[in-house]
């Protein structure tokens, strides 16, 4: 297939070519993979500036998305590549190949840098999902920083640059890009310059808030190497319809929920749950709203089936049309699978390459996916599915948006994508929805500040 980039893709590719370090905040569905490959093609075969590139991505994106994009377009046929995943023996064999692109999953970055024994002689690094390097204390970040000075070019790609921590998430991402030139070399400096403590206990600070005008100052610092693009500005995107499917707890279930919330304790004939702190309580309330709790002895206690009944109603209303179901807890997954078997509905969990192929070929009326494993980079809309149900909505804005983007993206054939949130009334479910909305507002402000001004095709 001939590669015909949109005007915004041409702009982004030229920005990568013109700048040795780039933060590319492309909204989900805008084709950041093919855009980057286009820039790599010119840098490698027209300008001869690079010859060996390391691409770091989530595991399934490394295994599937990048190889698929290379194979899909005629314009990238000159690339040779090796996917560095699997056992250590398989990874070493992949690194020994003489190719132009080496594609590795982010979990193996510490191994590559510190244990593989291979020279780190890459001309350029592409970090797909730059936001996965937002923790300056993580092994992957520290390992990559050790070799960062050796690399002359680096591109960071993401559609979700800020998550629950807002602008605090930007420090490590931009330190990886420019080694501290714009936002400082030390996290303490960054906090002092742009933030003030919010929640504290003596000398311990639990959360920070931006100082007045700090967001504008940060945006100004990073704008020379950053461009952002929103899908609705450049693509004829389908309409996104978020829907809340409320469920009502019974009087007994409400009493149990309110008791756990107030006293940090849940108890019935099956056992008891004690939440040690507010963070643990949050997780237990989410579980109880879903209908099942992990007890203190690690056994599972079923409290209600309200959400399962709602999910069954939704599946029946689909009359065989494909439906993507998103879960969070393992016990929820097991109960959903049990209910689907009772309904005699064919399904698979999207946790293998084979299951993804079955889904995209339209063989399955229902698929189950977890945001942490299916949220980044996978194209799952080829099944014809345009409806997603969150059995449990995650707190993470990044995981939430990336999961929604598996259907709400370029290539979606339907004019409407419906995202249903099964939510127990007057529970933490509604707080999560509110928190995600507020986080989105913070991210939108950043994206707007560095949005690329590109004309339309």
At 419-450, the pLDDT tens digits run: 999 999 999 998 888 888 887 777 776 667 66
Q: Are residues 112 and 84 in the same domain?
A: yes
- List of E strands, 159-203: 195-201
Q: How far apart are CA 237 and CA 394, in angstroms?
A: 24
Which pLDDT band, with edges at 50, 70 and 90, does 456 fall under? very low
Q: Is 389 exposed, middle or buried (0-12, 13-18, 19+ CB in 10 A)?
A: buried
Q: How far apart are CA 29 and CA 59, in angstroms?
A: 19
Question: What CATH number is associated with residue 370?
Answer: 3.40.50.300
Indicate if the pLDDT at residue 29 is higher than 60: yes
Domain ends where: 303, 333, 348?
A: 303
Single pTM value for the model? 0.68
Q: Are residues 346 and 277 in the same domain?
A: no
Residue 373 lies in a domain: yes
Which pLDDT band, with edges at 50, 70 and 90, does 406 fall under? confident
Q: What is the pLDDT of residue 383?
A: 64
- The tally of domains found in the chain comes to 3
Q: How far apart are CA 208 and CA 168, in angstroms?
A: 8
Q: What is the pLDDT of residue 454?
A: 54
Full domain range(s) for residue 118: 7-229+445-449
Q: Are residues 50 and 114 in the same domain?
A: yes
Closest C-alpha to 151, from 284, 21, 300: 21
CB 259 within 8 A of CB 265: yes
* CA angle centred on 53, ends 74 and 29, rounded to 5°: 55
Closest C-alpha to 145, from 191, 107, 110: 110
Q: What is the pLDDT of residues 134-160, one digit of tens each?
A: 999 999 999 999 999 999 999 999 887
Q: What share of the chain is helix, strand, coil (3-state, %, to 5)?
A: 45, 20, 35
Q: Are residues 28 and 101 in the same domain?
A: yes
CB 50 within 8 A of CB 15: no
Closest C-alpha to 58, from 111, 125, 130: 130
CB 379 within 8 A of CB 369: no
Arithmetic mean of pLDDT over the chain: 88
Q: What is the pLDDT of residues 277-288, one digit of tens each?
A: 877 888 889 999
**Longest distance between any two alpha carbons in the chain, whole Å:** 72
Average pLDDT over residues 363-386: 76
How does DSSP classify residue 380? Answer: -
Average pLDDT over residues 322-345: 94
Q: Are residues 347 and 207 in the same domain?
A: no
Q: How far apart are CA 294 and CA 290, in angstroms?
A: 12
Average pLDDT over residues 238-264: 89
- 392: Cβ contacts below 8 Å, ≥ 6 apart: 286, 289, 290, 326, 327, 328, 329, 332
């Amino acid at each position: 297939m001939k590669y015909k980039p949109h005007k915004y893709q041409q702009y982004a590719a030229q920005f990568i070519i013109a700048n040795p370090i780039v933060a590319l905040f492309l909204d989900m569905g805008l084709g950041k993979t093919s855009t980057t490959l286009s820039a790599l093609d010119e840098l490698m075969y027209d300008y001869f500036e690079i010859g060996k590139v390391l691409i770091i991505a989530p595991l399934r994106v490394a295994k599937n998305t990048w190889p698929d994009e290379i194979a899909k377009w005629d314009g990238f046929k000159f690339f040779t590549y090796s996917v560095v995943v699997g056992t250590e023996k398989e990874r070493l064999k992949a690194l020994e190949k003489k190719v132009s692109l080496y594609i590795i999953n982010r979990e193996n970055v510490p191994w590559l840098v510190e244990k593989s024994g291979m020279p780190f002689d890459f001309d350029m690094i592409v970090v797909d999902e730059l936001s996965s390097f937002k923790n300056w204390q993580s092994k992957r970040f520290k390992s990559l920083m050790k070799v960062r000075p050796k690399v002359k070019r680096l591109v960071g790609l993401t559609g979700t640059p800020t998550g629950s921590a807002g602008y605090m998430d930007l420090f490590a991402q931009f330190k990886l890009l420019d080694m501290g030139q714009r936002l400082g070399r030390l996290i303490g400096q960054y906090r002092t310059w742009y933030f003030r403590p919010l929640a504290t206990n003596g000398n311990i600070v639990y959360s920070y808030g931006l100082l007045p005008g700090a967001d504008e100052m940060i945006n100004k610092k990073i704008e020379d190497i950053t461009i952002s693009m929103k899908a609705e500005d450049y693509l004829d995107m389908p309409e996104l319809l978020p829907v809340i499917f409320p469920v009502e707890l019974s009087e007994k279930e409400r009493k149990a929920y309110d008791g756990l919330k107030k006293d940090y304790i849940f108890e019935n004939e099956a056992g008891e749950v004690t939440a040690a702190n507010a963070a643990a309580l949050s997780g237990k309330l989410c579980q109880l709203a879903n209908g099942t709790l992990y007890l203190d002895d690690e056994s599972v206690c079923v409290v209600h089936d309200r959400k399962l009944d709602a999910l069954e109603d939704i599946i029946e209303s689909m009359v065989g049309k494909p439906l993507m179901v998103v879960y969070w807890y393992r016990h929820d997954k097991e109960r959903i699978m049990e209910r689907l078997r009772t309904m005699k509905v064919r399904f698979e969990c999207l946790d293998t390459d084979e299951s993804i192929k079955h889904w995209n070929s339209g063989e399955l009326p229902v698929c189950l996916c977890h945001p942490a494993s299916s949220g980044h980079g996978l194209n799952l809309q080829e099944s014809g599915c345009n409806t997603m149900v969150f059995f449990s909505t995650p707190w993470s804005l990044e995981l939430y948006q990336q999961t929604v983007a598996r259907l709400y993206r370029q290539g979606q054939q339907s004019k409407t994508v419906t995202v249903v949130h099964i939510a127990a009334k007057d529970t933490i479910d509604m707080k999560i929805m509110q928190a995600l909305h507020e986080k989105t507002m913070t991210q939108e402000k950043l994206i707007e500040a560095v949005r690329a001004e590109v004309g339309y095709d």
